[in-house]
Amino acid sequence: MNNYFFIYLTLALLANITGIYAENAEYIIAIRRKENDENYIHASPEVQKKIDELVNDKMNDIYEIIEDKRDTYFLDNGEMDNNLNELENVNQLRKRSNKITKFYFINTSSLKRINDYKKRSLDITNSNSTIEYIPFESNIINHVCPVSNYYTVNAYLSDEVAEIVCNLDNVIHCEKSVPLDLPTPVKVQNLNETEIEIINKNKNDMNEEEYETDNSLPIYYDIEKIKNETKWSDVSVQYDEYYINHLSSISQGPIFLNNKSKDNYFYYPSSAGQGIDIYLMDMGLIVDHEDFDETERTITCDAIINDKIIRYTTENEKKNCNLNDNVYPDHGIMVTSIAGGNIFGVAKKANLHMIASTYSLDSSLRFFNYIIEHATPYKTVISISRGGLADYSDILNEKINELINEGFILIVAAGNDDIDCCAPKDSEEFFNFTGYPQTIVVGATSYEFDYGYNKALYSNHGKCVDIFAPGNVIFPNLSEGSRTDYDSMSGTSCAAPIVAGVAASIMAEHPDIKFDNEKMRQTLIEMSLKDIIYDIKNNDSPNRFLNNGKRSVYSLYDIQEECGPKAGNRTCEFGCCSKDGKCLKYYNYPWDECYVENGCQSEFGDCATLESSRQECKYLLNYKSECLNEITSDMTEEEIETNCSFLLSQECKEFTRNVINGQSICSSVNQYETIPSIENYNKEKFLKNTEICDNNFLKNKEECDKEIMYYYECFVIEDSDVNDINIFRYHADKCKKMKSDKCSVLYQHGKEDYINYLPHCYTLMKYYNYNSMDMMMSLDSYYDKIDNFFKFCETYSEVAEQKCKEVYEENSECYTESNCEIINSSKCKEFKNNIFDNPTHVCKTASISYYEYINVELYYKNIEKCTEDYMDYDHICNYQIQSNYDCLIKENFEKNSLQEMAKYCNNFKYYNCSEIYTQENGLINTLSSCYLYYKQSGYNTLIDYGLNISFDDQKNKETYKKFISECSKNSEQLSN
């Protein structure tokens, strides 16, 4: 993992710890006219209009309360909350009319009804009423969407204002809309060259008429039998041989119960979701990849929900949309690909619709409302790979009910926290979206299917989890602009779109059936493989694995060629030659027909004898007897951990799974003579052992996490380069921390200190082969290399001075030249970013000030003249504000004490600040970069500094006069 991640994560955590915030927050407010009103979306235009008018009146009431209670929005640091800045312009709007004025809050939340709302605006504003309605788009309060028979709005409220607003007439719900954390996908591992080669070889669909997939393999499956089994109108087959086989695993029965090799084909109905729409709410989407073939369907990003606004995408955004230009939308690309990508997707002909959206109560409501307004009932599947701990929402619950009642299917990911995600709505452990019982909830399994299906270690569980699906996938990688690259990802985020793809395939194959949410849930449950998943950890979790309707298991082993005398003395290349002259291949143990005692023809194949199998079993039991040990509660901790280290090893997992499933050579022998250890070992004992080991692991991990939290600052990233000038300061700061009393105890006696001070972390390493420390590769290698770091600590000060001087000397043209080509070169941009913005650069450690080398004022003028990036203006703006700070009039300056005001006024006079306010464009010229940044970004940086000035000369002159007047009063008061 990139070393910079840990460094900046540490800095971010420190920043969060020191921050102070007030309790102002976004609220979703539900306003209902009458309890017996019909559902808004089905109500008559007359009723809708009355509800709209009531909502607008209530929004005016709320806005007036916010204005009256503005002083309750002050932050803990004494500054006014910037989110209320629009209030400064409100009075100007109202002064335009002689009538009593109210706002007509423009509703931009309903994209389909926007013209209707504009028409109503004209109706209201053109009326002969004594009240004039002024059309207004507010950032403080705005429409969200209808829910059931009421309408919701979003408002920014202080605690005191919320108490008033939530108790207004007609307000039936009042809920905070806080930003929620996006789930963290679990990285599997990078694809190796062999796997990439396999992908490139087999990524094209097979020819549906000839059913050819890989010319090097004989056809061992039977299309007609598959049609008869599944009742599909036609069958398509795709080769799926790579270590993550999320497709092939959902179109066959339990492969570990058949003594056969794995079938690497994905079988699916040829309709493949055609005519069905899959909607996904995620980060965004880039379509320019071979996986997103649009020959028989559409793949688009339809809308963007951001900052309390929903809008249609532009033509360019339909193929490349993102919430944040600086963040690559890999998660959104993944869910779209897995739901219906041409190569790695399930429903390869379904229409795919991305809604790029932030994650909050507000954005969730807007997303669901968009579906209701734009999607086709009974022909739409919704897949959401988001979730997390959150407060239960009555509003969201009713919106989900409305969505499902309208005929839409909602599939959600269970989450990646390895917890019960089914807590009741009044619990602090309530989980979004899984806690809403209407949703179809999907857990994840790992990608190892050879010896049985496992719940993925990270996957959440509980009684609300309807089904499990593969949690490891391969999907398009467009980060470098390639149309053919791939990457891997893991998580329930991957499992949910697989289920969505299967649901779309079912609907397309049965176009005459109206599948609603509950019918689809029951269909998926009915089709699932039951009781084949190990390690679920929760007896309440239903044990169901996703299946698309085909359960038969085919294998190369099914091809039985003839052998022996009747085949011209032909010898079997693999497997045995049975008594009746058939070549029989086997995976784990010989078939009964492969024993010599049962007539197997040893001269024409690999026959076994009961004695040879007995000896092989004896050998296995000698070396793997610990795998069958039973862990009991009266064992010591060390005995439990020692046994668990055996049981959780890959060798034991394979052996015990084969024993449980009757697939071991010992299982074969046990049919002829009883082997007590095999006879007495069963699934119940295996699960009991596994549960004890899992619980012991989690107990140690919980304690280990505490140990790491306490000592985290004492460790350095093992493979980081201490001579890297870009993170030099990070290592220098580590040197200081590692000399502290707390940290020094870890480095007196080598790794023995780690064992003594982080005992639970060491237990995880020793017995569970689990390394909790991301910073170190292994305990031995870490302590072997730590001496080099301490040598660095002895000389870093001198090294920093020298390296920083070298940086300035090697980049001198960047701060001495005024040539824009030089200033905009990648070399000079990197120099600027490191010197001014990189907190861990070597020059932040050295005692050298950039003023020793750089004429900062001239340097910034050159950058301002040459820059191609408006963010440079923001940086220079900060410098200009700091350089002129004494001349800039602050908000609420009149509230200063006499002494503070006197100092303020004297400095203002001393620095001859009047010119800034009396000359034309005085402030614009003084803070030129602030103005340029404002013009290009729309954001006024002056607000961040609490300044009572703007880029309007007239307003500044009025503020200046008021300030000078206040200085005069202050002077008189001090004289008296």
425: tokens are 């709505």
Taking a C-beta distance cutoff of 8 angstroms, is the pair 746, 714 a contact? Answer: yes
Concerning whether 216 is annotated as a catalytic residue, the answer is: no
Which secondary-structure segment (H or E) carries 152?
Answer: strand 150-157
Backbone angles phi, psi at 748, to 5 degrees: -95, -35
Exposed/middle/buried for 726, CB within 10 Å: 0-12, 13-18, 19+?
A: middle
Token readout for 369 is 């409302």
Between CA 611 and CA 818 the distance in angstroms is: 89
Helix (H, G, I), strand (E, B) or coil at 143: strand
Look up 282 and say whether it is catalytic.
yes
Q: Name residue 625's amino acid.
A: S
- Residue of 282, 466, 733, 872 with catalytic role: 282
CB-based contact 409:393 (threshold 8 Å): no
DSSP strand pairing (265-269 vs 235-239): antiparallel
**68: left (phi > 0), else alpha (psi -120 to 50), else beta?**
alpha
Which member of 331, 461, 760, 875 is catalytic? 331
Inter-residue contact 339 to 504 (CB < 8 Å): yes
Tell me phi and psi for residue 300, to 5 degrees. -145, 160
The helix/strand count (H/E) of the chain reads as 33, 28
* CB 311 within 8 Å of CB 303: yes
The DSSP bridge partners found for residue 831 are none
Cβ neighbours for 404, distance < 8 A, ≥ 6 positions apart: 410, 438, 516, 517
Q: Which of 248, 251, 459, 493 is catalytic?
A: 493
**Cα separation of the two ends of the chain:** 69
> DSSP labels for 662-689?
T-SHHHHHHTTS--HHHHT--HHHHHHH
Contact 722/752 with Cβ under 8 angstroms? Answer: no
d(C-alpha 476, C-alpha 574), whole Å? 37
Token readout for 932 is 């340029």
CB 878 within 8 A of CB 941: yes
Alpha-helical segments (H) within 69-191? 87-94, 114-125, 159-165
> How many other C-beta atoms lie within 10 A of the C-beta of residue 966?
17
Look up 42 and say whether it is catalytic. no
Are the beta carbons of 638 and 616 closer than 8 angstroms? no
Residue 154 belongs to what H/E stretch? strand 150-157
Q: Residue 279: CB partners within 8 Å, gap ≥ 6?
A: 353, 355, 371, 375, 380, 381, 382, 383
CB–CB of 553/258 below 8 Å? yes
Please tell me the distance from the alpha carbon of residue 438 to that of residue 433, in angstroms, as a whole number. 10
**Token pair 């089994």 is at which residue?**
229
Burial of 608 (0-12, 13-18, 19+ CB in 10 A): buried
Residues annotated as catalytic (active site), given as ranges: 282, 331, 493
